[in-house]
Every structure is written in C-alpha cells, then in structure tokens.
Structure 1
Amino acid sequence: MAQLLIVTDDASDWRPYLPSDSMVTVNDYLNMGAFTDNNSVQVLNLCRSYDYLTTGYYCSLMAEARGHRVIPSVMTINDLSQDRFFSLPQSGLDRLSPEQTRLRFKLFFGHSEREELERIGHKIFERFNVPVLDVELVKGGDKWQVSHIAPFPFQELTDPEQDLFAIYLEAFSRKVWRAPKRKKSYRYEMAMLVDEHEKMPPSNNSAIKRFIKAANRIGMDMQLLGRRDMSRLGEFDGLFIRATTNISNFTYRFAKNAEQMGLVVMDDPESIMKCTNKVFLTELLLNHKISVPKSLILNESDPHWEETLLEQIGLPAVLKVPDGAFSLGVVKVKDIDSLRAEAKRIFEHSTLILAQEYLPTPFDWRIGILNRQPIYACRYYMSRGHWQIYEHHKDGKFSSGSYDAQDLKRVPAQIVDTALKSANLIGSGFYGVDLKEVDGQAYVIEINDNPSIDHGIEDLFYGDLLYDRIMTEFLRRIQLRGL
C-alpha cells in the first residue's frame, strides 16, 4: 500500500483540518535523503506557491527525483505557466444565464459546488492535476473559453471553501491514495483502460478476464478504468490500454498523464501519435525501404490531384483519412465518379488524403510484436462478397470474414521479418502489423499501436501463453523502473 504524504509550508496550515500523521512540512520533506526508504510514496504538494525555484516547486522536483508520485507534477507546474488555453466541453454551460459572459470559480480536485461545472472541472483537472485551481471563463460568441487558470493556496480559502476542500480531499484520498486492501496481497498494481460503450474494442470480455488472471499469476493485481477515471492513475504501477486509441480522444490523455507519472504504459503516447497517422507511417516505411502498396498524398489545393492519381496508381484505388480521426473509414473507389464523390466527402474534413493501390488478397496477415519480438500470428479473411475483413452496414452492425491463428514457426519468413522491421521503427511497445502477401512479397498495410487480442481469435494457437507473455513484459518493465 502506498504511503501518503501531505506537504505544507507550515504545520499551522493544517490547523483547520483534522490532525493527520500524513502531514509533513516542506522543509522536512526537502531534507536530503529524507523519505527515501520507500519508493511507494504519494505526495500531495499543498505549498502556497509552485513558482519556479520556490520550495513548492522544489517539493515536486524532489519528489520526482525520489521516484515518488506527486500532485502537481513538475510538468503540470511548467504547463500552467506556458499553456493555459485548451478547448472546453460546452455541455452544462448552456444552463448559465444567456446574459452572463464571465464566470469565476474554484475547483477542488476537479470538483465544483456547481453541478453545471462538473464536466468542465473534470476536463481541467485531467489537464492540470492541481489540488485547488482558480478559474475564470469568458464567453466569446457562442463558446466559453478559459481566460485565467492558476493554482490557489489552500491556506487562503474561506471557511465555506475549507469545508469543500476537506470534503473533496477526503473523497480524493479515499479514491486515489487509500485504495481498499485486496483479499490477496499483490506486489504491483496494474490498470487496464477500457471503453464500455465501444462496439469493437481491442479485447473482448473473455480476453480481459484472461489478462487479469495472467497478471494475478505473476503477483500483479489488475483493475479496470474508464474514461472518467484519470484521477485514479496514481494508484497504479502500469497502464494497459484496451480501448481504441486516437490522439484526439481520452486514450491519448491517459497515456500522456500515465507516462508523466512514471507508470509503464502500453501503448505509450509517442506510439499512439505515430501509428494513428497513416501519412507518417507510409513515409516512415518508404524511407526505410519497406514495401507498401503504391501510395500518394492527395492535396485539396492541388488542381491536378485527380490526374496524378490516375497516372501513378490508377483505379481501383483505396482512399484513407491520414490521421484516422474521423469516422469516415477506408473506402475503395472503382471509377472516376466514385473517386470524385469520395474525395469530396473526405476533403470536407481533411486537406490531405492518402491514396493507395488496391491489392486484392483472400486474407491479411497480422503479426503481434512485443518488445521487438513476434508473439503471435493470425490470418483474417475478407468478409464474404466484400473487399475488407469487416463490412460495416447502415444499421450500425457489421460482418466479418473467418480467421485462423498460426504457429509463428509456420508463417513465411518474409512476413515475420517485414513485420518485425516495421514495428521496430515505432518503438519497443506492443504492436500489430497488418500485411498482405502478393506473389511471395510482403506489403505492410498498417501498424496498430493497440492490436486486438480477442479470446477465441488471436489466442487460438498459443492460448493463455499469449496473455502471460504480455503481462510478464509489464512486470519486467515495472521491476526495471524500481517501482
């Protein structure tokens, strides 16, 4: 169980609150060599100021040097002084008076006493993990934006505000710092990020249960987190993302925050950024002489993009949104009319389109790579009468082709070698490389940063060994960090 330390400037700062053995002064905490006998320490920095080179700043800096988890982190402190502007969810704000154009309030661990500010509070606290924030919003046109955001000294709270601070500190402490003891004692704590509303998650429920059992077998506990559980990251030693990643959604924010807090993360934010951008991937693969389908970037401002595509790729062709941020999917165009119609639709959301030649094959390979080693192989066959593995229908349902997991020893060497070479260009995380085999040649279609592991599909050949392999890698990395 992690030890909680509440650090304040002076012991008298804590007088309005119940006595706590967890409270220490910043001078005591900053003594060289103090509190270093236990790495599993959580520090709540409540110093009056976090300005550069103040004792509050050094408190967070020293905590990170000691391997302690601290709120706020040095990264958060620096971000507050440089980057205070970001988009806000507008829901809830529509309940404010139409005449109101300015609003100032305090957030206590992301919470406000005003119900309409709860979602905004969560969003701000995800971005800036600071115990007390003073926030001002201004309305420009139809949208509210942040005009001021700064840490507020808890020592200067009014009596009613002290009550709110105490309530939310207790809730935050109970939720994050003092998780209830498990029936069995585990050495490390793992979190798995899932999205319960996702229709096609990277792992089905049966696979998730097997990941949990695999973690338990090697002395790690694993709990599931949802998109609103960002504040719980401090409980854990590692984060395994099992929700479809995108740089524009909550998965990237979780990965970024977890990495800053010192957790072992799969997949890490850099891998998410690289793998979700198809233009980046294509350019990267081409620069390293790895075979991909003939590819071309179409620019909306180029009046000759259509002629260039017909000349260099021809029809049929495949059009893709470069960053995958929109739910436009990947489309095949067979003739000039469909090319123009689909390109027009995509250009409404993106100034660039990735166009590739169409390579028909009965199935696609996927090779799972972990820590620069292949760990599974699977073939996915095209959906009956369709050119892709999955066929999405207008009613929101989908159909898919069959599949068969393979012994890696029986997979063609050029498939495994090309997959391994491709994934190694991204990093040492967990990747799934999709390839087509045409006349004995391997062509990389995509590199996935959180490849699917479904019970009954990817694990058909290796069974529980697949789950054990992934969880063991987490354990190895956690131990290397000395957590």
Structure 2
Amino acid sequence: MTRLVIVVEKPADWGSYYPSDNVVAAADYLREPIGDGERTQVINLCRNYRYLGTGYYVSLLAEARGHKVIPSVRTLADLRRKSLYGVDIEDLNTRLAKFFPGDASDATEFALLTYFGQTRYEPLQDLARQVFEAFPAPILRIEFERERGWRISAVKPAGLHTLSDAQEDAFAEALDAFSKKLWRRPRARRKFRYDVAMLHDPAEAMPPSNRRALKHFVEAGAELGIEVDPIGRHDFTRLAEYDGLFIRETTSLDNHTYRFAHRAEREDMVVIDDPVSILRCTNKIFLHDLLTKRRLPIPRTEILMREDEARLAALGDTLGFPLVLKIPDGSFSRGISRVGDAAELRAAAARLFQHTALLIAQEYMYTEFDWRIGVLEGQALYACQYFMSRGHWQIYDHARGGGARGKPRSGGFRTLPVREAPAEVVKLALRATAAIGDGLYGVDIKASGDRLAVIEVNDNPSIDAGIEDAYLGEDLYRRIMETFLRRLERKRLGVRD
C-alpha cells in the first residue's frame, strides 16, 4: 500500500484544512527521511519551485529516496521551458468562446487555476486535463492571450498560500479525488515488492484479454511478488503511484491508451506497450514503410491518397481483383474491405476516405488460416493458427454476429508449441518485431505455398484464456510477468538497457 505524504513549506499553509498526520513541513521532510522502506507518494505543495529553492529540493530528494513525487524534477524543468507550451491548442478558440460570457468576448487575456487537472469550468475541463497530463503539478495557473487567436502564453505552478476561500474549497475537492486511493485503509494482505497497473476496459467489445486472462495475470504477478492492479481510463492521475504499466486495452494513438503509455514512460516506469511500439504498430502505413525498408516480405501494396483518382483507377491492373482496402488504424478485421471489381473499389474507397486521408490497397492472398506468433523481448512465446470465419474471408466477420454477447463471429484456432510451427514463419516473425522494439507483439503471417508475407505486427496482441494459452497454460502469464519483474529489478539497481 502506498503511503501519502503532503509537504508544505510552512505549517500555516495548511491552516484552512483539517489537521492530518500525512502533512509535514518541508524542513522536516528535507531533514529526515520519511517513509523509509515504504512505497511513498509525495505531494509537494511548497510555495514555489524555483531552481535550488526549497520546493525544488523537496522534489529532488523525494526522487533520490525512491518516492513518487508530484511535481517531479522533470516537470519543474519542463515548466521553465516556454517552448513546450507556447503553441496553439486545437479548438482553443471554440472552447474559450463557450466559456466567456457575451460581455467578455473581447477579452485579450485570461488566466485559469487548475487543481490536479480539475477545474469547475466545464467547457475548459478537457483542456485542464491535457495541461495536467503534460505538466503534472498540484496547482497550475494557465495564462492565455489572444492576438489572431487564443494561445497559451504561460503555464506556472501556484502556491497553496495564494488561494482564496473559494479556490481553497476547489483545491480540497480535487486533492480528495486525487488521493482517495491513497487515503484508504490498508487491507490485510501480503507485502508486494512492486505494483503494476493493468489498464483495461470492462466494457470493451473485443478486448485483447478476456476476464479469465486478466485474472491469470493478477495471479501470476502475485506469485512473483508483484501486485497487478486493474485500472481504467479515469485512473490517469493515479498512474505515478505504480512501478509499471501493462496495457490490456486496444491501443490507439488518438485515445487515452497512448497518453497512459507516454506518461508512464515519462515517469520512468516499466511499460508494455511502450509508446514507440504503439506508434509503430497501430498505423498500418507507418508499419508498411518500416517493413519495406527492412526488406521483409509483405503483400503487394499501394498507398492511396484521396485526390489520386488515376492511381485508384489503375489498381485493378496493378494488384488485380479481388483486392483489399484498409484504413491505417483498423483492428480486429475492422476498417477492411475486399472488393471484386472497379465499381466496388470506387464505392469502398469513397466510404473509407470519409475517415482517413490515406488508404492501403493490398493484393488479396487467400489462406485457410493466418499464423500468429507471439513475441516477447525478441523470443517467440506462442504460436497460433487463426482460421477464417466460416463463409467469410477474414478471421472476424463483423457483418454477422453469433458470438458471445453479440460479438462478431470468428473462425477457429489451433495453438501449438513454437517448436512445431514452421521455422521460417517463426524466424520471419522475429525479424519483423526487431524493427519495432523489445516488447510484447503478435505477428500475423500468411503462408501460401512457398511464399510468406507479414500482414501486420500488433503491439497489443490478443492473450485470451482458452486460446493463446492453450499450450503453455499458466506459464504464458508467468513468463510475461517475469519480464516485468526483470525490468523492475534492473531499474531498481540502476541498470540501463
């Protein structure tokens, strides 16, 4: 369980709030180690954080003692670099237009106080959250200015002692929301060496791991002295209290999963999937370019731009019919169309171009099944054959349901020892992941006669109880959690990869 320590510069700064054993003066925190041997979260509420000042040293020594601290020294350094926030924010004009009353619409300057990424001004809540994610600090003053359009002119940390009565109330509410998981009474349980947050969405229709698999990850972690704690998208502000992050939710560059991975990496946590892997895998155009440069075999492919009518019209001659159109960020067979002639091609392209400026067109390679090779840290972990859905050309048939809880119908599978998979398939999978990183991947490969082709590399591969674990069983989960343990131990010892 994490211990909470709130550091104030002067005891009087806490005078408006209830007394608490969690609150200590900065001088006392600097003078004597607190929470020695305990997992500790420090909230640094000093009056300022200027370089080599009291607040700066509280954050510096907190990190030296192995405490999680907000704001971190890195955040304090970032806040001094105006280049990081002196940029336009998407939709800022629209947001502020909704916020300002009519008689203040001609304002040229504006400032907003946020507390742990929270504000009572609903039109600006999403903006407050984004700024907090970039600069995690308890109290931030966001200053805006308008010339041709609104822009953030400054982001500054503010002191607890500067707040009015109403602002103190808002701060108290935000602090309670931020720290409620830390204030809770410890449960009677064994002491874990490390805490790993496992991000998942219970409502996701096609998650990368089913409930039984998530339970197996928790159990495997516990055997190794790791508490695996399932969290959701609304737990972003809690992330810094963990040692690692394991993403078991479908990743995307434009949603919270990438923000979680990026924030965890900034906090020097062990992360699977890391943000670089998400970047390289989730966009098929990026992945195509990467694999092509590595001269790895892939289906014959053309990249289409919305305005390139001539290239679209020539696809039938270039790739032949039928062919496959894909949006760059589709997953689980979504955003993919097979077209059999020029008319179907034009219709499918018009439909898909509504969602993206670029499309991928590939030759159609029929196979009875796709190989999926699971790879972890450059080693083959499992091998599966995913068969096409009955009467369909893909593994998942989204047009016809029939699966559990209305899920798309899918084909069968066969899981086998890696040693029984064709050696050339396994070797190709390892070459493909070497271009991505050293995380956890699932490589989809088609084998047609003597020809092999990498279809995609998934940064967040499916690991479902009863499917991918059909051969290894509980050992599959243990191997993945052992990777976390090795990496966590290396970080604790200060060993860099």
TM beyond 0.5 = yes
Report the Cα offset of residue 6 of structure 1. 3.1
Check if 1:337 corresponds to 2:343.
yes
Aligned residue in 2 for 1:109: 116
Give the Cα separation in 2 of the matches to 1:154 and 1:428. Answer: 43
The equivalent position to 2:447 in structure 1, one of 429, 437, 440, is 437
C-alpha distance after superposition, 1:413-439 (max 9, x if no partner): 001010011112111110000000111
Check the 8 A contact 1:176/1:231 in 2, yes or no. no
Check the 8 A contact 2:273/2:440 in 1, yes or no. yes
Aligned residue in 2 for 1:25: 26
Check if 1:459 corresponds to 2:466.
no
**Counterpart amino acid of 2:393?**
W
| Aligned residue pair count | 480
Check the 8 A contact 1:8/1:26 in 2, yes or no. no
The equivalent position to 2:157 in structure 1, one of 151, 155, 159, is 151
Give the Cα separation in 1 of the matches to 2:305 and 2:144. Answer: 38
Aligned residue in 2 for 1:46: 45
**Counterpart amino acid of 1:48?**
R
Check if 1:309 corresponds to 2:315.
yes
Report the Cα offset of residue 360 of structure 1. 0.3
The equivalent position to 1:381 in structure 2, one of 384, 387, 399, is 387
The equivalent position to 1:172 in structure 2, one of 162, 175, 178, is 178
C-alpha distance after superposition, 1:56-100 (max 9, x if no partner): 455545544554322123444455433445447999997986776
C-alpha distance after superposition, 1:37-68 (max 9, x if no partner): 65844332223334566554555455445543
Alignment of 1:235-274 (within 5 A): 235-274=241-280
Check the 8 A contact 1:132/1:152 in 2, yes or no. yes
Report the Cα offset of residue 247 of structure 1. 0.6
The equivalent position to 1:125 in structure 2, one of 107, 126, 132, is 132
Question: Structure 1 residues 87, 184: CA separation in 2 closer, same or farther (over 3 Å shift)?
Answer: farther
**Counterpart amino acid of 2:83?**
Q
Check the 8 A contact 1:414/1:441 in 2, yes or no. no
The equivalent position to 1:472 in structure 2, one of 447, 470, 482, is 482
Report the Cα offset of residue 181 of structure 1. 3.4
Aligned residue in 1 for 2:290: 284
SS in 1 for 2:234: coil
The equivalent position to 2:417 in structure 1, one of 388, 407, 410, is 407
Give the Cα separation in 1 of the matches to 2:46 and 2:276. Answer: 33
Give the Cα separation in 1 of the matches to 2:340 and 2:237. Answer: 49
Q: Which moved more, 1:409-418 or 1:177-186?
A: 177-186
Aligned residue in 1 for 2:6: 6
Check if 1:200 corresponds to 2:203.
no
Question: Structure 1 residues 15, 455: CA separation in 2 closer, same or farther (over 3 Å shift)?
Answer: same
Check the 8 A contact 1:434/1:444 in 2, yes or no. yes
Give the Cα separation in 1 of the matches to 2:91 and 2:33. Answer: 41
C-alpha distance after superposition, 1:370-407 (max 9, x if no partner): 11111111111001111100010277751111111111
Aligned residue in 2 for 1:82: 83
Unaligned runs of 5+ in 2: none
Give the TM-score of the pair, scaled to structure 1: 0.87
C-alpha distance after superposition, 1:212-235 (max 9, x if no partner): 111111122122111111011122
Report the Cα offset of residue 334 of structure 1. 1.3
Report the Cα offset of residue 138 of structure 1. 9.1
The equivalent position to 2:428 in structure 1, one of 410, 418, 422, is 418
Q: Which moved more, 1:112-121 or 1:347-356?
A: 112-121
Give the Cα separation in 2 of the matches to 1:96 and 1:196. Answer: 38
Question: Structure 1 residues 324, 27: CA separation in 2 closer, same or farther (over 3 Å shift)?
Answer: farther
Report the Cα offset of residue 268 of structure 1. 0.5
Give the Cα separation in 2 of the matches to 1:438 and 1:427. Answer: 27
Give the Cα separation in 2 of the matches to 1:117 and 1:281. Answer: 36
Give the Cα separation in 2 of the matches to 1:423 and 1:45. Answer: 41
Check the 8 A contact 1:5/1:24 in 2, yes or no. no
**Counterpart amino acid of 2:222?**
N
**Counterpart amino acid of 1:218?**
L
C-alpha distance after superposition, 1:304-353 (max 9, x if no partner): 31255334322221111224499961111211111111222223332221
Report the Cα offset of residue 140 of structure 1. 12
Give the Cα separation in 2 of the matches to 1:14 and 1:27. Answer: 15
Aligned residue in 2 for 1:318: 324
Check the 8 A contact 1:268/1:429 in 2, yes or no. yes
Give the Cα separation in 2 of the matches to 1:289 and 1:247. Answer: 26
Give the Cα separation in 2 of the matches to 1:44 and 1:419. Answer: 45
Check the 8 A contact 1:316/1:332 in 2, yes or no. yes
**Counterpart amino acid of 1:342?**
A
Report the Cα offset of residue 158 of structure 1. 1.5
Check the 8 A contact 2:370/2:446 in 1, yes or no. yes
Report the Cα offset of residue 182 of structure 1. 4.5
Question: Structure 1 residues 65, 314: CA separation in 2 closer, same or farther (over 3 Å shift)?
Answer: farther
SS in 1 for 2:264: helix
Check the 8 A contact 2:26/2:58 in 1, yes or no. no
Q: Which moved more, 1:149-158 or 1:95-104?
A: 95-104
Give the Cα separation in 2 of the matches to 1:308 and 1:474. Answer: 49
C-alpha distance after superposition, 1:248-270 (max 9, x if no partner): 00100111111111221110011
Aligned residue in 2 for 1:69: 68
Check the 8 A contact 2:205/2:407 in 1, yes or no. no
Aligned residue in 2 for 1:370: 376
Give the TM-score of the pair, scaled to structure 2: 0.85
Give the Cα separation in 1 of the matches to 2:99 and 2:331. Answer: 30
Report the Cα offset of residue 240 of structure 1. 0.8
Check the 8 A contact 1:191/1:239 in 2, yes or no. yes
Question: Structure 1 residues 367, 122: CA separation in 2 closer, same or farther (over 3 Å shift)?
Answer: same
SS in 2 for 1:130: coil
Give the Cα separation in 2 of the matches to 1:164 and 1:285. Answer: 51
Question: Structure 1 residues 211, 282: CA separation in 2 closer, same or farther (over 3 Å shift)?
Answer: same
**Counterpart amino acid of 1:422?**
A
Question: Structure 1 residues 79, 321: CA separation in 2 closer, same or farther (over 3 Å shift)?
Answer: farther
